[in-house]
Structure 1
Amino acid sequence: MSSINTNASAMTALQSLSATNKNLSITQGRISTGLRVAEASDNSAYWSIATTMRSDNKALSSVQDALGLGAGRLDVAYTATNSAIDVVDKIKQKLVTAMSASEDDKLKIQGEIKELQGQLTSIGLSANYAGGNLIANDQTETELNIVSSYDRTADGTVKVNTITVDLSKTQLLDETGTDGGILADVMAIELDGTEDNDGIQAHLDTIEDALKQMADAAATLGAAKARVDMQKDFVSKLSDAIDRGVGQLVDADMNKESTRLQALQVQQQLGIQALSIANSNSQSILSLFR
């Protein structure tokens, strides 16, 4: 039956064209954003998971910055400690030489020792990084806490973990670089030319004790630096893995979407033609009245 009030064919064609246009709009949005799930209405579960993971990844970026800062401070302190060990070794050599030296030579050796002690001060005060010094300080800070991770448990709670370094084991000098810390007794060594071998031996015993403690300090700093470097590498890989995980949830398959776009464009053209044909059917009724 032909009716001028109801064009069923045109209604069907219009519904089909509307559905095609809607799918075309969705596909075009995915291609322009590169996302299959761009907002909560696309897939609330995936969107929620992706949003949380992106937020955690931003926190991991701050963790990487903190690890980089901590690695820098530890590296400077470790390098300075090793340099200080070399200088103390030279003081030990001078003392051994003084064992068989004359009074006048001992005074000359003392002049060399004083210069080496000045070098220790220079090393200690130069070991600054980002406003902090781990080997020459006033010990107001007894620990160095380096943010190492941002962890989320299964129940959704989060915790920030740190790598802790005991600074009481790494202090070589005080904040003036002339006293305090492991090198306090070494900085106090002074030959007046009258020392006998027993007196020089006492200084050598002081040197040996300081070298042992300095070796422990270097080991502490080296171990902490190695752990920070490993954690920094892990956090970097973890961040990349999270990015990939988010991508698998929300990224659009561009090959698939481009193919779908072409198909929908063809469907749109056919739908327009079908609607045009359906609308022209009612015009043929006019010919009956001619």
Structure 2
Amino acid sequence: MSGTAGQVGDCPQTLSSECWKIPGYRYVSYDNSGTTPCGVSTINGTPTGVCDRPNLKFTSWIINGRNVIHAPFNDGLDECGTPLLSDLAAIMNTWDPFAGGWTVTVSDQCAYHLRSRALPPTGTKYGVLTAVDNDTGETITFAPVDVVVPDTFYRRITEVDCDGTTTTRWTNDAGATVPAPNPEQIVECTVQVTPDARVTPTQRVRSRIKRFTGTATSGNVDSFPSDVQAVTLTVLAGAVRVQAAGSGSRNGGAPTAFEDDVTVPAGVTLSWGVDGDSYDLALDGSLLFTGTAAGADFLLHWTEHVYTDWD
């Protein structure tokens, strides 16, 4: 009786088939600019932008179906843009029992808005934040938008060929062979993890400078698009009127008002600034610089805190 030597059975044979994944994540965002891809703000139920509300009473924030604000409290929202959003982020971080890590960020779709740290694809359900304007009686709401990136699944298949050669290949969830994923990004499918993301966005400080002549004005520094950390005035010629008009409201009261109004002559340099740590990211208060006559010539240099996207 004769036969052929070699491996018996079908080949290649699968030695193992393992499930791996790149963990998904979710961002939750709120916006004060009406109806946007990053959230919806309303006044008396009508979608609209919300700005400069110094006397609000926050009544509820629904998280997982429950109001986490145990008793209504008064506060205010400064100006528009980042001053208002920074105030709102501080309120949310105070009341969020799940530490969502709310901070001001920026995107092409929504400009400046509020966003959470990276969260698992499913879990805590953030809902509508509601306040009442004590001055007007209007009801103001902020409703969130979730951006969810699901888990990405792979299979690592190890096979042995008819000649005994062992090979490994990867397939996607549709069974197609794909390049091996980055080993630093994947975990076994049974592992439940919170995405490895920064608690706050990458933070940078950007330098700016602008020259003003004649009776031109800087506008209100507190209304600049980014959080201003430091401002330096250099008067080259003529004179410049400097006004420190006041800071934002706190605890539902009126904004703090000052009557600082000084004319600064040529040859003088003045500076304002904060230390820039996690507590003092920006100056709080209106600063206005205006040339007093046609011969005025001055420079403003400032640094602004820039929130970039998440790493």
TM-score (norm 1): 0.23
- Of structures 1 and 2, the larger Rg is shown by 1
Greater fraction of residues in helix: 1
Higher relative contact order (CA 8 A, sep 6+): 1
TM-score (norm 2): 0.22
